[in-house]
Amino acid sequence: MKNNNALAQVRALEIPSREAMLKRDTTVTQFWNNNRQLLEDAWAEWEIENKDTLLIPDETLLDPKLRQAVKDAWENPEKENVVADLWEEIIPGVYSIQFFDVERLAEFRNYLEAVANSKIPARPPYGIQLNRYGFMLDPRSEGHLAAPNFQAFYNDMMDRYMRPISRLLFDTYGYDNQTFGFSIQYNPDKDKDLQAHTDASAATLNININLPDEKFTGSEVDFFDKTTKQTVQAVFEPGKAIIHRGNVPHATHAIKTGQRNNLVVWLYGDRMQIPRGSTSSYGNSNDAAATVNAPEQITARQRWSLPDGPKDTIAPF
């Protein structure tokens, strides 16, 4: 039975300090674990309380061309090349696309603003560093954004879009059963940049959710091309996404003006397995080092399918 007073109760909780989070203090994990069900009840209560004004996020927020191509591929996997052709290759293992519909971005951002103003405690992402303004998105994460409608959108995006696309571009089949995600904001005053690293993922999708009038300077992303030994620089634009193998080294330059807002989602295998050679410096260094051989050749029908196994509870950070 759900707690009908959960919203008031979670708003009265004393949240762990930033210092305690950065130290990975055991009391922080205890706080999120002890209050997990209460927080999930509060998010459900919040949705009901705001049902007349709150967006129900779904795939119509995404770019129409991408949506149609993905829909066609699910109906007939032999059409998957249409999906692949939408992605522009930056360097081997790194591609970009218009992911969100720019005309719908304001609605989505208003939704996230409502989330931020809900006064429901949420754990910010901390891997290499703690980002003050983000949310954890996946249920495997402590203090995640557990609003039921958001979770339905998140799971749909991972299952129907990211997983088959990663299999198509990177052959991640077999090492993409598990999901992970967070939002992040860069600004000149606090969280400015991110040092060079690789991800504890088979594939990473990084989506910019800035509005067209939200300009920023700096915050370019460098990707290291292992073939040419050159660094290629990419700049995020509203609604655009970059997808890359987790083992591609990348770094974020310091942002100079404005803010950059992104959603970042990962795929990896059970127990955080990733393809051989994909060792990581971003995430759980012990588990992330578990690498496996590349998968055998698979069919288009296999690429456009859901994994059979259950979700585990291992989170990179």
Q: How many CA atoms lie within 13 A of 255 on its CB side?
A: 20
Q: Which amino acid is at 126?
A: Y
- Would the pTM count as exceeding 0.85? yes
The Cα–Cα gap between 89 and 281 comes to: 24
Q: Identify the domain containing residue 234 by its residue range.
A: 57-303
Whole-number pLDDT of residue 195: 78
Indicate whether 295 belongs to any domain: yes
Whole-number pLDDT of residue 187: 80
Question: 231 by DSSP, 3-state: which?
Answer: strand
Indicate whether 260 belongs to any domain: yes
Length of the chain in terms of residues written: 317
Q: What does each of the 317 residues of the chain score in pLDDT, given as a tens digit?
A: 567 799 999 999 999 988 888 788 999 999 999 999 999 999 999 999 999 999 999 999 999 999 999 999 999 999 999 999 999 999 999 999 999 999 999 999 999 999 999 999 999 887 545 455 689 999 999 999 999 999 999 999 999 999 999 999 999 999 999 999 999 888 887 665 567 889 999 999 999 999 999 999 998 999 999 889 899 999 999 999 999 999 999 999 889 999 899 999 999 999 999 986 554 444 543 344 344 444 468 999 999 999 988 899 988 88
- Between CA 138 and CA 91, with CA 208 as vertex, the angle to 5 degrees is 100
Whole-number pLDDT of residue 215: 93
Both structure tokens of 312: 């585990």
Q: How many CA atoms lie within 13 A of 220 on its CB side?
A: 7
Long-range contacts of 223-232 (CB under 8 A, 24+ apart): 223/90, 223/91, 223/94, 223/248, 223/249, 223/250, 224/196, 224/248, 224/249, 224/250, 225/91, 225/92, 226/92, 227/91, 227/92, 228/91, 232/90, 232/91, 232/94
Indicate whether 37 belongs to any domain: no
- CA distance to 64, 83, 90, per residue, from 73 (Å): 14, 8, 24
- Helix then strand count (H, E) for the chain reads 11, 14
Instruction: Indicate the number of domains in the chain.
Output: 1
Domain CATH for 220:
2.60.120.620
The Cα–Cα gap between 163 and 167 comes to: 6
Indicate whether 125 belongs to any domain: yes
Indicate whether 38 belongs to any domain: no
Q: Which amino acid is at 188?
A: P
Whole-number pLDDT of residue 285: 38
Indicate whether 30 belongs to any domain: no
Torsion region of 189: left, alpha or beta (phi above 0 gives left; psi -120 to 50 gives alpha): alpha
Indicate whether 2 belongs to any domain: no
Indicate whether 8 belongs to any domain: no
Whole-number pLDDT of residue 292: 44
Burial class (CB in 10 A: 0-12, 13-18, 19+), 190: exposed
